[in-house]
Structure 1
Amino acid sequence: MYDAARAPGVLIDPRHLATNVAVPSLTAGKSSLHLLPDRVLLRDGKHYTDIDYRHLRTHGYQQRFIENPGRIPRDARQIDQTSQYVNVKGGPDRRFSNNPVLPIMLYGNIDLSSQHGLDWRLQISRADAATVIADALVDAPAVEEAN
């Protein structure tokens, strides 16, 4: 089972926000998503906005990917293999003396979007976790606003 508390950089507090809970966060360049208990906080550079979980659309699915040898995540699953150069019938092309065998991996994708402009695709090495994570985000309880 994946232990988010042991993964480096996954549970961080968003800058400029004090919390009393660990916040699962995803960072890509100057953008980040922070999964707060009641909403998603989105940072793009120095600008912040929030998205209520009710407005978050998610889709989790699996995808095959031909990977370079030596760069395979430890928790990924290899489902097949192919040659770098293939002939018309799909087998290795014998014209190339250096035709390495490449692993075909099964990865997970999670698409996150909203009608307000959010459009992220997360690619994860645990293919089976993609639908679980997407479903958990959709099933996040709505928090009633205090008047």
Structure 2
Amino acid sequence: MRTLGVNVANDLAYLAVADAQEVVDITPGVVKFAEGLPQDERLTALRDEVRKIIAVNKVTRVNILSAESTYKATYPQMTTRITIETIFALAAAESGLSCRRVSRPFVRSTLDLPKSGKLAPLADSYTSPVGSNWNGKRSLAAVAALCHGGE
């Protein structure tokens, strides 16, 4: 089973793929909306890119990491995050794949990580860097990808 983990921060989606219990290198490791396109074209362009990433990397499931429970953002920041996450869910559904949100407590429990403190430093120490933009970004996508089983 190859699981795509997704961690959205600001207007970027950080990605990692786990094949069983091993994180593998993928390109790109980060995606965002294309600049200079009208809004409707930005949405479909990102969806098409996500579908390509799913196909090229032979992904069989998508896990989207939920925000910290203390996450605070402005309305535009929140809508951007939710829109990007929704595009990943839509692309997974269109590809016939299971997609789920994984909460940070679920990640901690599944991977037997400490319950206190921020998840990012724990993810950094739990995973070995695979590619760029790792610490606190793609490492969070990796721990989401490593979570198997139900929530």
Q: TM-score, normalised by structure 1?
A: 0.25
Question: Which of the two has greater helix per residue?
Answer: 2
Structure number with the bigger relative contact order (C-alpha 8 A, sep ≥ 6) is: 2
The structure number with the bigger radius of gyration is: 1
Q: TM-score, normalised by structure 2?
A: 0.24
Question: Which of the two has greater strand per residue?
Answer: 1
